[in-house]
Amino acid sequence: MGKKFLGLLVAGLCAWPAGAFAASTQVDSLIEKLVEKGILTKSEARELKMEIAEDAKALQEDSVKSTLPEWIQNTKIKGDVRVRYQYERQKNDTEARSRGRARFRLGLDNTINDQWKIGAGLATSEVGSTTDDARSTNMTFTDGFRRGDIRLDYAFAQYQPAPWFKGITGKYIKSDYLWAPTDMLWDTDINPAGGSVHLEHALTGHLSAYANSGVWVIDENGKTDRADPFLVYNQGGVKFKQPNYDFNLAGVFYGFNAVKGAAMDGTASTNTLTGTVLRYDYDAFGGSAEFGINNPTAGILPIPRLAFFGDIIQNIDSGGDEDGRTGSAVDEGTGWAAGFKFGDDKVNGKGQWQWKYQYTNLGANAWPDAFPDSDRLGGRTDVRGHEAILEYGLSKNVVLGLDYYQDDRIKGAENAQKLIQA
């Protein structure tokens, strides 16, 4: 009791910036005197000094925070910087392509009250780009040291009236509102625009059920004689988690509207066309799964976690026209991806690591070719191939990564690609 009281008293003195150093010095002398008189042992003295330092730091931080305006106290800043070397070689190329690239992202989240939160983020874009690439936030080193561009990456408002429900609108990061363990369908840089909701309910202590639903605007075509392309999706799933293992299973329906007969932006030119517009619709059913095991070797090997994951998608378009006349089923309308990973669940600390492998097989018309991972053969559909990723934490929040792709076309003209990112 006496030691704790002394610690708090001294911490209070040290919290005053002007007297912090003097008070700390006097306390050290006082503690040494108590040791000399046998009131404290050397071990107790060390423990007391540590408690005093921690309490003083906490009090000083609270003191500084209390002087800030409330809106600043409720604002969180986040961001990251990535510098990358990229080597790319396709079979039919005369020379390989090498690029230096950088990515910068900065975001702000502000909690308005217990139910509302707003946020916005900026990200790099290609130098001098006249159109925004939804699948990339990279800036390539080029054009005689020319400066890069910064663009709006997302801006949203989120409403959460209860722990089991939240909704969002604007342009936003999709991970909380659509679960996908692979990037077969969605490049991780894509931030959709529209609105989504997420519901989750605990069934037992370890098992919960969830649902995601949303409407995403794909394009505003500026026309009055044709509807704007948009996407409606509904996903339902269950999650189970306990100390030894966990799993996540989900099914999803994607309903694309006004996509058939449209000329899409940002495509990779592998979907089947009629003239210059899309021949098929892309309504699809899909499934996702991940199963993880903690400490899979029971301590024999230093592997914290092993997980298996996969995605599957099936385009259900009949091939008919807009007047309801049926046709042949869509060609190459199936896609799937599967893989495994082992190591730490996330790499953000010194010495943490993860190795990941994924195989992808995506038919030409299984999915719109404007959305898959842009590093996998340029974001094409009609692609199959391998990806291996190794990440290692050099220090807290500093990660070294190596990413390798080896891909080729399924039915198109063979032009195998090897891509290395480090």
- Residue 70 structure tokens: 């409330």
Residue 132 and residue 381: Cα distance in Å, rounded? 21
Q: Is 352 found in the same domain as 263?
A: yes
Residue 172 and residue 190: Cα distance in Å, rounded? 9
Question: Pick from 41, 66, 91: which residue ends a domain?
Answer: 66
Q: Is 263 found in the same domain as 188?
A: yes
Whether pLDDT at 327 is above 90: no
pLDDT score at 129 = 58
pLDDT score at 147 = 86
Q: Is 298 found in the same domain as 365?
A: yes
- Residue 19 structure tokens: 């007297």
Work out the number of other CB atoms within 10 angstroms of the CB of residue 124.
23
Whether pLDDT at 412 is above 90: no
Q: Is 333 found in the same domain as 261?
A: yes
Of 53-57, 76-80, 183-187, 287-291, the poorest mean pLDDT is in 53-57
The band of 318, judged by pLDDT with boundaries at 50, 70 and 90, is low
pLDDT in tens, 193-233: 999 999 999 999 999 999 999 999 999 887 767 888 999 99
The parent domain of residue 57 ranges over: 2-66
pLDDT in tens, 13-67: 444 444 444 556 677 778 787 788 777 788 887 887 788 777 777 776 666 666 7
Helix (H, G, I), strand (E, B) or coil at 23: helix
Q: How many domains does the chain have?
A: 2
Work out the number of other CB atoms within 10 angstroms of the CB of residue 170.
17
Give me the mean pLDDT over the 319-340 stretch. 73
Q: Quick check: 259 and 281 in contact, CB under 8 A?
A: yes
Q: Which residue has the higher pLDDT, 60 or 131?
A: 60
Longest dimension (CA), the chain: 98
pLDDT score at 297 = 94
In this prediction, what percent of the chain has a pLDDT beyond 90?
67
Helix (H, G, I), strand (E, B) or coil at 397: coil
Give me the mean pLDDT over the 245-262 stretch. 96
Give me the mean pLDDT over the 320-349 stretch. 80
Residue 12 and residue 362: Cα distance in Å, rounded? 63
β-strand partners of 166: 198
pLDDT score at 222 = 79
Q: Is 235 found in the same domain as 88?
A: yes
- Residue 54 structure tokens: 């921690």
Q: Is 272 found in the same domain as 314?
A: yes
pLDDT in tens, 358-367: 999 999 999 9
Q: Is 97 found in the same domain as 58?
A: no
The band of 69, judged by pLDDT with boundaries at 50, 70 and 90, is confident
Q: Is 62 found in the same domain as 84?
A: no
Query: Count of residues for the chain?
Result: 422
